[in-house]
Structure 1
């Protein structure tokens, strides 16, 4: 067989082999169409959900009257479809948050004016009638009345950096509950309700910043500076949270009387169809009890309608999957040991349970109020797969995706649930986008990525396969494997094990988007070209297999995960084609923690390991994530003592550790403390530090450099 072309790192990190996708699809209120920004970011185009063809241009930066902009970063359509907020000059803050300059665009008049002349805005929100816009600036809420000359008024005045935040979450709530906005209008548009975060008592963390490059920060040309923000670590004070309402007509602000503990969380606030009710979702600090209250914004009285109490903790993914419709609350819960769906009336009466079997619901897409049908994804064929389902009002559950396309399916539904875009891929096929009706019938193919497949045909592609094995403890684990294209079962190959392994996560999926940088496990394909077999195994604690499997790591993070990765290495070492003396391990973030824990587990199975941006002690990490799985250091000191720093004497194998100095998530402190422990234990290691880079370690040539160091390290230690 003739050898194909070889991948190079530059092409991998620059996205040459990134598949075509439908980005930023926005279903429109008519239920028959969706919108997208075109490729040059100048137009917003309307497409038919039935044909997938363009049926009109909603916005064109080249022809709009009034204000002029260079490009469109995003947009928000008003509920009545008459106006849009056009997002420009976006500057990201953390994972979800950003500031931007917004413009109000009148679709009928083709005219655009600034939303505000007083500085960039955050999280603007149309009122239900489309005639008002609320937004946040400098931690305060502002209101613009579109029928009154776009007059701007200030709703709150106590906002102050690192002290009081109105309407947007603080760092830890944004990061760990996936929030970007913490305010809503009432259904009649007469009130704004929001969460206030008082982070005055939260201790702060400072990251040192340098001039750097790509981009450079000239303000630090002579002396470095600091970025300081509030970051509560495990066991310490969180922000104090409360809900307020503002009566737009009377200008009266009221505090909602929520009956919660002082250290409770408020992960969501949601508008309902009734003006007298705002849904407020709360959680206790241990995160094992979730409550949904209906709050009256005028009387401030709260009524508890649903309370969900589960063993150990409620998964973070539950937050994005709670749906509150005109008449129902759709709540995912693991109360029976698996993530299933429970449908309640707005007053808290349980109407039905959807799915009552030993498999997991993954995503909740919504409930169609006209039919009672509930749309969701689940994995009845196993944790490696995901399919799209509908549960009819009569209880019948039907699969909606093409049955010949097993793999991983996802969906974007039209507003009326009449159509959906199905996104499918598997381990050997890049994403395919099709338009389907709500019976599952495929109407048209939108994206097939055949060009990408043709491009890759000429390259040296190794085989990818899913597998399972049983550990010496009798635990069944799932994995995937990439072998060299010229694989010879008579040879002995070095192995690199890539893993993440954190609570509820999944790396082992029958999906194109696997591996350390996705793209069909492209980085792993690159390693296979160099003669490595690359393997990924999901250890105990990962998701998709029910609460018992996922939550068995509770209070002792890292112990069973590392044990299972070592078991995987031992199993691999018994395969005839594996050189058991040349097995390496790599991971990023929790995977970096898992790398360090596995290399110091006590059984010397790893020749080399790479830990990228690793936590090294849960005492250094944030309250919400850490306490969800570990409780506090005071409650669980022995669990917190299980960490790589305390196991440094047991570290076996060559180590490369990499970290960005401006990592706002897993602070550089973790690597600094761990490498100091290595020095004092007289352990050799290699270290790469990335100036001004965050948890993702990218920008300019950074990602290319990082991956090259990883490859060079494994080549020097394992070849």
Structure 2
């Protein structure tokens, strides 16, 4: 007996310390990295706050040492009011959709120490301090309220809010998913009015999802989901004045008014900006609302012959009420400077590169701080640009993916950087990019991976049939032999404006790909037409034909790989999730002669089943463009399936509905095609929770080992 136990102990020890990246290690958290949570610059520009295990702590930029505790306790997030005399603390939350959640919040007065629960301790959504710091607006049960922080009095602004019917100051499902945020209201700068969007979704078709759980009869999840070509919420802009306690509807009849994606305040006391759009999303009005009178002035219209990225607005008002705006007018995304009346002063940034993030403006130096692709489309760097001279100064390394969190006075910033070979590091720099101190690294994580024979990505380009050079990466076994033929496993996403070929750390699928490489596969990824950061033409060539050029490029890439001496052209597989799953489904049908194996997770299989805002942005409606929808649906090519195909979907996916996979499965069945199908009960688009991810990736691994 003792001998048997000793043997088992030895085997367990060997298994754990084997020089291999295993699924057990990946999903046990063995390779998990370290970060810095909740970085926020304080108003003095000399200190910053972070969330730590014991509470919210203040650090000095100059010394990088702790400079006191702001609040003790455990909090999920925090927000200061403008003068940092109060702090809004999220204590508990329940997720709703991708961005929205219900939260319980406290407001703490940092001078007196007094704590007040928001909404009597009940759940709310999207709480926001008034600029004067004396009130907090919030949404509860689809109605808009504000709470006076001196008296505790709660004032109800709207009373018609109702689930699946009326929302006040809150985005409906499709707005939240496709415009990227749940909040649809804003305080004026002088805190005397709120402009909000009212959404009437009563006529929007309702989606029903069964929830199985551990119950005798399944329950139902019902929510409004406008599919392509169907009715959307009817939206209106409303002005509420605190002095009169009255709400008036703003008249948008002379402007584009089908969508109202964004609400902003300006640098002036009595102004709010509305961004509006027609259904086709190829033009957006920028409207200025006078919150004293309700009068509306159009500043300008941003238009494009194909589409406007209504989910990616850059807008900041400077002290003189001039403003900075992001647009793709010259073939790349750049910044433009307008006066307060909407007249263009100048284009700030220029060049064959794109502005990928905007961090802010320093009025003292007349400089904007941005993230760009100026050092190549697979890299993201940090720069500053003088808005008068146009001079660009690089503040980060030239390679890798770098992002920044700037101090309030722009004298410092915390740079988060990574590359394909190096996990995240957090470095404090001064406003000119000089390194002052490394705050956090992930050398321990990297050493574990290197000890387990991690391989890194090699970057290169592949030509497509249109003459474009497509960005690509490849991962080869450590003992790679150029005279040996390897099976190839391709990964992609391919959605409009997306990017998978980046010089950045990939702790998601990247670890799984390493596991597969150690099993003898070569793994590669190619960003074809339609993806981002290579200019507007490359991105928008897919207009009205979503899927057509994308699958052509994946097939072309697979054929290119198949001609390489080290690839077995008869053993090429492909994998993708969501839009990537859609592409994998097309690859195993339209590309059946090229791809032997495919895995499609949560795929769209018919764009008629996807939401209106996203799909119509790129395709117009099915009524206008039926061929664009039907000619690029994998269900139309089900009879072409030849290889081994694994279809995976969560039954409670509120984003890409399970219906997509069910329709595709039925098309395959009626064409007498054999395939594997895995349904994850009550799992959403992310297919996660408990042991779900570990089981999912083991299943996909086993499928590949048996079929590729």
Q: Same fold (TM over 0.5)?
A: yes
**Residues 139-538 of structure 1: pairs in structure 2 closer than 5 A:** 139-147=142-150, 149-211=151-213, 221-259=215-253, 264-319=258-313, 321-326=314-319, 327-403=321-397, 405-513=398-506, 517-518=508-509, 521-538=510-527
Q: Which runs of no fewer than 5 residues in structure 2 stay unpaired?
A: 1-16
Q: For the Cα contact (< 8 Å) 2:384–2:395, is it kept in 1?
A: no
Can you list the C-alpha shifts for 1:170-214, whole angstroms capped at 9, x where unaligned?
1101100111211111111111211111111111101110115xx
In the alignment, the residues of structure 2 paired with residue 182 and residue 472 of structure 1 have an alpha-carbon distance, to the nearest angstrom, of 44
Q: Return the match for 1:128 from 131, 137, 142.
A: 131
Q: For the Cα contact (< 8 Å) 1:401–1:422, is it kept in 2?
A: no
Q: 2:668: which partner in 1?
A: 678
**Residues 579-618 of structure 1: pairs in structure 2 closer than 5 A:** 579-602=568-591, 604-618=593-607
* Runs (4+) off by over 4 Å: 260-263
Q: 1:541: which partner in 2?
A: 530
Do the aligned partners of residues 306 and 29 (structure 1) sit closer, same or farther apart at CA in structure 2, a change above 3 Å counting?
A: farther
* Pairing 1:95–2:98 present: yes
Q: 1:705: which partner in 2?
A: 695
Q: 1:578: which partner in 2?
A: 567
Do the aligned partners of residues 152 and 284 (structure 1) sit closer, same or farther apart at CA in structure 2, a change above 3 Å counting?
A: same
Q: Which runs of no fewer than 5 residues in structure 1 stay unpaired?
A: 62-70, 213-220
Query: What is the root-mean-square deviation in Å for CA atoms of aligned residues?
Result: 1.6
Give 3-state SS (helix, strand or coil) of 2:461's partner: strand
TM-score scaled to structure 1, two decimals?
A: 0.93
* Pairing 1:715–2:705 present: yes
Moved more, 329-338 or 155-164: 329-338
Report the CA distance between 1:473 and its aligned residue. Answer: 4.0
Q: For the Cα contact (< 8 Å) 1:563–1:601, is it kept in 2?
A: no
* Pairing 1:113–2:120 present: no
Q: For the Cα contact (< 8 Å) 2:348–2:390, is it kept in 1?
A: no
In the alignment, the residues of structure 1 paired with residue 391 and residue 420 of structure 2 have an alpha-carbon distance, to the nearest angstrom, of 27
TM-score scaled to structure 2, two decimals?
A: 0.95
* Pairing 1:555–2:544 present: yes
Do the aligned partners of residues 283 and 15 (structure 1) sit closer, same or farther apart at CA in structure 2, a change above 3 Å counting?
A: farther
In the alignment, the residues of structure 1 paired with residue 255 and residue 624 of structure 2 have an alpha-carbon distance, to the nearest angstrom, of 18
Q: 2:82: which partner in 1?
A: 79
Q: For the Cα contact (< 8 Å) 2:555–2:594, is it kept in 1?
A: yes
In the alignment, the residues of structure 1 paired with residue 696 and residue 64 of structure 2 have an alpha-carbon distance, to the nearest angstrom, of 40
Report the CA distance between 1:397 and its aligned residue. Answer: 3.0
In the alignment, the residues of structure 2 paired with residue 387 and residue 687 of structure 1 have an alpha-carbon distance, to the nearest angstrom, of 42
Report the CA distance between 1:466 and its aligned residue. Answer: 0.6
Q: 1:567: which partner in 2?
A: 556
Give 3-state SS (helix, strand or coil) of 2:239's partner: strand
Can you list the C-alpha shifts for 1:338-389, whole angstroms capped at 9, x where unaligned?
1111111222121221222222111111222333211111112321111111
In the alignment, the residues of structure 1 paired with residue 248 and residue 28 of structure 2 have an alpha-carbon distance, to the nearest angstrom, of 51
Instruction: Give aligned pairs, total.
Output: 690
Q: 2:56: which partner in 1?
A: 44
Give 3-state SS (helix, strand or coil) of 1:25's partner: strand
Q: For the Cα contact (< 8 Å) 1:313–1:629, is it kept in 2?
A: yes
Report the CA distance between 1:288 and its aligned residue. Answer: 1.2
Do the aligned partners of residues 561 and 182 (structure 1) sit closer, same or farther apart at CA in structure 2, a change above 3 Å counting?
A: same
Can you list the C-alpha shifts for 1:556-593, whole angstroms capped at 9, x where unaligned?
11111111111111111111111111110000000000
In the alignment, the residues of structure 2 paired with residue 639 and residue 322 of structure 1 have an alpha-carbon distance, to the nearest angstrom, of 33
Give 3-state SS (helix, strand or coil) of 1:50's partner: coil
In the alignment, the residues of structure 1 paired with residue 63 and residue 559 of structure 2 have an alpha-carbon distance, to the nearest angstrom, of 53
Can you list the C-alpha shifts for 1:232-291, whole angstroms capped at 9, x where unaligned?
001111111111111112111111222456862111101112122101111221111121
